[in-house]
Amino acid sequence: MAVRKERGIPESLTGVLQGAVRDFPDAGKPVKTQHVSMKELTRRDEMSLAAAALRGAPWAGAAISGGAVAATSLVMGWILPGSPDLSWALCVGITMFTLVASIGSISQPQRGDHVTRQARVWSLRHPWRFALYPGLGAAVLMYPIQLIVDGEGLFGGAWDAFWGGVFVFLITGVLALAMRSRARSAIRP
C-alpha cells in the first residue's frame, strides 16, 4: 500500500478524502459560533422567574379570599333554588386564590430583594408568559377536584380543569398587561 509522503495518508483513501472535500467545502474551516442573545430564555428560566415573582405573593390574603369565595358559593347554592355544588365552589375558590396570589405578587414590583424585584419586573414586561404559570397551577389544583369530587372521569376532569386554567391565564394576563407601566417605575438605578 503506497502512502502519500506529505501527510502519511494511504493512496487508497486519497480519492475518498478528495471527494469529501468536494462535497463539504467548509469541513476544514473553523466553525462559526452561534451567538445567543441574553434576552432569549428557556422555559425553565421562565418558570424560575415566575416562581421568583410569586415568592412574595400575599398567600394569606389569597387563601382567605379563595376560602371566602368558595364558602359564599356553597352557601348561595343552599339558599338559592337548586342544589349546592361542592366541586364548583372549590374550583371558584381555587380560581380566586390563584388570581389574588398571582396579581398580588406583581402588584408592587419595587418591594422585596433584588432578585424578587427583577423577577417581578420581568413578569410585568412579559405578562402572557408569566400568566401561563398561574393558569397551569390552577388547572393542576382543579383536576383532582373535578376527578374525585365531581366524578367527571379522567378526560372530563382534565377538560374542565383545562378551561379553568385558561380562565385564570386570561384574567391574569389581562391584569398584568394593565399593570405593565409599574415595571418602569420599579427599576432603580
Q: Is the pLDDT of residue 58 over 80?
A: yes
Q: Is the pLDDT of residue 162 over 80?
A: yes
| pLDDT, tens only, 15-56 | 545 555 555 555 555 545 444 444 677 888 888 888 888 888
* Helix count and strand count (H, E) for the chain: 8, 0
In the chain, domain spans: 43-186
Q: Is the pLDDT of residue 188 over 60?
A: no
pLDDT for the residue numbered 28:
53
Q: Sign (positive/negative) of CA torsion 20, 26, 30, 34?
A: negative
Q: Is the pLDDT of residue 127 over 80?
A: yes
pLDDT for the residue numbered 120:
86
Specify burial of residue 188 (Cβ count, 10 A radius: 0-12, 13-18, 19+).
Answer: exposed
Mean local confidence (pLDDT), 151-160: 88
Q: Return the SS3 of 118.
A: helix
Mean local confidence (pLDDT), 99-109: 90
Mean local confidence (pLDDT), 50-66: 90
pLDDT band at 119 (very low <50, low <70, confident <90, very high): confident
* Residue 79: count of CB within 10 angstroms of its CB: 8
pLDDT band at 189 (very low <50, low <70, confident <90, very high): very low
Q: Return the SS3 of 3.
A: strand
